[in-house]
Amino acid sequence: MVDRVVIVTGANSGIGKMTALELARKGARVVMICRSRSKGEAAMAEIIAQSGSAQVELIIADFASLESVRRAADAFLKSHDRLHVLVNNAGLYMSERLLSQEGYEMTFAVNHLAPFLLTNLLLERLRASAPARVVTVSSAAHMTGHIRFDDLNATRGFSGFRAYGDSKLANVLFSNELARRLEGSAVTSNSLHPGVVASNFASGTGGLMGVFFSLARPFFSSPEQGAQTSIYLASAPEVAGVSGKYYANKRPQSSSAESKNRDVQRRLWDVSADLVKLS
């Protein structure tokens, strides 16, 4: 990964932080995109100290704001003429229905619309830097998901678990459609399930789901274990030409039937492009 430029979103904690750390150890120039400046700076200092690399940078962006995503992409493009790997890692779980700055249901906005927009804003730089890779962190929870095109804002009977599963399905659909659109470009796109990881994810969740996370957390994988598939897809030579796949434990797996539906993939892409006002 020496001389390779990598972006990792949500890199201040959990699997994002471990992904950034390991890629820095491999010699990559790592750009962390984080919501909190204080947490981002603290994580950056740790990564620099533990990796022995000074090639670690920080860009601040709140994925609950598409305008903030645009500013982050602009900041990167102005300061870097190459991008070889984009790891779309940032995500959240919401136990109640809240809206993003633009008025979209928060889970859908942060987990899908933000990385969709960021990737598209950086796509020409990825193409120009090829061979390049886009790695999108999804979840096995996508198996429970369904894209409700008539209610993407989850206005009817909101369920945090359902919204999360739907957003993770959107990740796989997006990754698969992106892979098809990038055919022949030497830029690959793959998604993955990191495992159930003991990180800060869903740390503020209330209700029954909060009780479940609290009781089950001791049995979850460590962030180091959870980051392995992200690191593998971002750096392993053996997957250099692989695209349009869904991975778990560093192996290709079968994703849900809906995630493979090309009509749903194309429709979600077109609807998402309209929602984020992609020119």
Q: Are the C-beta atoms of residues 179 and 244 closer than 8 Å to each other? A: yes
Nearest to 62 by CA among 21, 118, 15, 17: 118
What angle, rounded to 10 degrees, do the helices at 114-128 and 262-275 form?
100
Q: Give the separation between CA 94 and CA 63, rounded to whole angstroms.
A: 14
Query: From the candidates 164, 232, 246, 247, which is the catalytic residue?
Result: 164
| CA dist., res. 254 & res. 5, Å (int) | 30
**Could you tell me the strand order of the sheet in which 85-88 lies?**
56-60, 29-34, 5-9, 85-88, 132-137, 187-193, 246-248, 251-253
Phi, psi of 180 (to 5 degrees): -65, -40
Cα distances from 239 to residues 62, 86, 138, 222, 254, in angstroms, run 31, 15, 18, 24, 17
| CB contact set of 212 (below 8 Å; sequence gap of 6+) | none
Angle at 99 between CA 171 and CA 91, to 5 degrees: 35
The per-residue DSSP string of 58-82 comes to: EEE--TT-HHHHHHHHHHHHHH-S-
104 carries an active-site annotation: no
Q: State which H helix or E strand residue 32 sits in.
A: strand 29-34
Q: Report how far residue 84's alpha carbon sits from residue 39's, in angstroms, rounded to the nearest whole number.
A: 25
Residues tagged active-site: 164
